[in-house]
Chain A
């Protein structure tokens, strides 16, 4: 049976939560009749709910700790990795997933396809930030600035020079890359918290410039009538064009995954990880600190630029309100929640974090609450992210493996 101390603990948790939720759960002020309603029964519901949930919470926590110990002893891979390694499972799953991806816009409504496209943009952008944060370990809180650079490059180039989507895509990416280099040079000598603060400032500077420099960016009113991506000069209806953008993003996401994977397994990728772990040792090894960091920063920015161009083309309207600090935080959440450094994790994180709030619209006012609770629970039970990074190990060719150790 449960011990007395456990019951006491749960009781205290219940008491604390009752106190914490008191203002929003119990008191209701009716401003029209100028009365205050006291809904005491709700307080008991919170108390009883918290009392029982805290048992569940502790049980899961214990189970998780025991599981970790067991996995450590046995040296087994996490479940997701084992599933990928298992061919019997992974090949049919990949085929099924492929069919699902292709059929998606034909099965579901335009609205669903649209949300999925947004999520895919975040997959691409998240993978870009994963290079900066997950691999190189540079905390960048102003990442959305590069996203804005991409979006505005397309919008302005189109407005002034009539450039199409496909011409603007590489230009937007290049601009974001250049901005990454320009910002990176002075900033990358900073480390950790300081870097985070400076990048945060940079993100805000870009947004404020876009908001206030009316002659250049049309200020808060933004730029409208940005054309959707063209398809060999054909006229597409709205639904066709949404389907087209969806497939475009699928292709782009696959391309990004491929490039990021290759980068991760390259010597440069390993140098990023090494730099994240120990700067002095890296210098002693002859790794150029500035250049390596700058390459991570600029390459990350490039993907944000690409994402930005697609974003502008997809929504056909952009204004500075789309590029607030909140966006940076969301993208960072995608990387951290998905699993730092893990490509699969970031994809999963993007899908969860973008789709969850959309599908929770039914719960309207509670959706952000559920969203927040999900984040907290995730961080407690899986601090390494949904899918933890297990890196491909590097082997020198020609050497025989005497004993395969994990």
Chain B
């Protein structure tokens, strides 16, 4: 479904990604784990076109993405939950969700998706007329995921959904991620620091270090790998 071929991404003169390749097939949950500053978020930003790669190719369903603008990429069916939630604090929950459906005009279908989302996150239905900034961290994260789902993506990019949340809420969010994947067949690319949890949910995983991918295997194998255990699982 998504093929990333040897991309290199720069912030000005600083190279954040030094040539990585990865592959995601339809219906999978793939995780990318690594330490701070490894280039995980940049990889997502490259895929979504917000920080386009300087070299290399990204193919989505056979279509090259690196020339497209972020809004065209969203239109193809890739939507991103940015790091640190980034909901719109002064818009209500409803309006936040409507912003997620910005490129869609099919009112009836939006309505259906909305009901589905309120099913997934009942707390958002309760708070729907509250402004986003008044939600708690966990609720904001749920809103961020829900907002991205409103675009009805085929590929959902999740950037650190566990960031700054209580363990119990993290568990809840991961449960929902799995549910989205199973019920909608939405492919999920999950970037995480919490390697343990991420590998438990994902089918396969990539390990990133200093802008390069150093390991790639199934989740079970990665969880059993001695190096991964030492570096990321703290066992």
Chain A positions within 8 Å of B, measured between CB atoms, are: 267, 270-271, 273-274, 277-278, 280-289, 393-399, 402-406
A396 to B80, CA, bound (A): 23
A287 to B82, CA, bound (A): 14
Q: Is B130 an interface residue (CB 8 A)?
A: yes
Chain A positions within 8 Å of B179 at CB level: none
Contact B111 A396 (CB under 8 A): yes
Output the residue of B86, B94, B147 with the most chain A CB within 10 A: B86
Q: Which residue of the partner chain, among A274, A281, A285, A396, contacts B94 with CB atoms under 8 Å?
A: A396
Contact A273 B91 (CB under 8 A): yes
Interface residues of B in 83-129 (CB under 8 A from A): 86-92, 94-95, 98-100, 102-103, 110-111, 114-115, 125-127, 129
Contact B50 A284 (CB under 8 A): yes
A282 to B151, CA, bound (A): 12
Q: Which residue of the partner chain, among B90, B125, B147, contacts A273 with CB atoms under 8 Å?
A: B90
A-B contacts, CB under 8 A, total: 94
Given A394-B94, A399-B115, 11 further pairs, Cβ under 8 A: A270-B99, A271-B99, A273-B90, A280-B50, A281-B86, A284-B48, A284-B148, A286-B70, A286-B73, A405-B129, A405-B130
- Chain B, 60-73, contact with A by CB distance < 8 Å: what is the 0/1 string? 00000000011101
Chain B positions within 8 Å of A278 at CB level: 86-88
Contact B99 A284 (CB under 8 A): no
Contact A396 B114 (CB under 8 A): yes
Contact residue range for chain B?
35 or more
4 A-B pairs with least C-beta separation: A286-B74, A281-B86, A284-B80, A283-B70
Interface residues of B in 42-77 (CB under 8 A from A): 48-50, 69-71, 73-75
Contact B71 A393 (CB under 8 A): no
Chain B positions within 8 Å of A274 at CB level: 88, 91, 99
Q: What's the nearest-Cβ distance from chain B to residue A393, in Å?
A: 5
Chain A positions within 8 Å of B69 at CB level: 288
Q: What's the nearest-Cβ distance from chain B to residue A191, in Å?
A: 15
Q: Is B188 an interface residue (CB 8 A)?
A: no
Chain A positions within 8 Å of B71 at CB level: 283, 286-288
Contact B95 A270 (CB under 8 A): yes
Q: Can you name 29 A-B pairs with beta carbons within 8 Å?
A: A267-B98, A270-B91, A270-B95, A270-B99, A271-B99, A273-B90, A277-B90, A278-B86, A281-B82, A281-B86, A283-B50, A283-B70, A284-B50, A284-B70, A284-B74, A284-B79, A284-B82, A285-B147, A286-B74, A288-B69, A393-B92, A396-B94, A396-B110, A398-B111, A399-B111, A399-B114, A402-B125, A405-B129, A406-B129
Contact A285 B100 (CB under 8 A): yes
Contact B126 A403 (CB under 8 A): yes
Q: Which residue of the partner chain, among A281, A283, A288, A393, contacts B95 with CB atoms under 8 Å?
A: A393
Q: What's the nearest-Cβ distance from chain B to residue A202, in Å?
A: 26
Chain A positions within 8 Å of B129 at CB level: 393, 404-406
Q: Is B202 an interface residue (CB 8 A)?
A: no
Chain B positions within 8 Å of A393 at CB level: 92, 94-95, 129
Q: Which residue of the partner chain, among A285, A404, A406, contacts B74 with CB atoms under 8 Å?
A: A285
Chain B positions within 8 Å of A402 at CB level: 125-126
A395 to B130, CA, bound (A): 12
Output the residue of A288, A396, A398 with the most chain B CB within 10 A: A396
A281-B111 contact given A270-B95, A287-B99, A405-B127, CB 8 Å threshold: no
Chain B positions within 8 Å of A394 at CB level: 92, 94-95, 98
Q: Is B32 an interface residue (CB 8 A)?
A: no
Chain B positions within 8 Å of A395 at CB level: 94
Chain B positions within 8 Å of A284 at CB level: 48, 50, 70, 74, 79-82, 86, 148
Chain B positions within 8 Å of A404 at CB level: 129
Chain A positions within 8 Å of B151 at CB level: 285-286
A270-B98 contact given A396-B114, A398-B111, A399-B114, CB 8 Å threshold: yes
Chain B positions within 8 Å of A405 at CB level: 127, 129-130
A288 to B103, CA, bound (A): 10
Q: Which residue of the partner chain, among A280, A396, A397, A406, contacts B86 with CB atoms under 8 Å?
A: A280
A394 to B102, CA, bound (A): 14
Contact A285 B92 (CB under 8 A): no
A271 to B82, CA, bound (A): 17
Q: What's the nearest-Cβ distance from chain B to residue A81, in Å?
A: 15
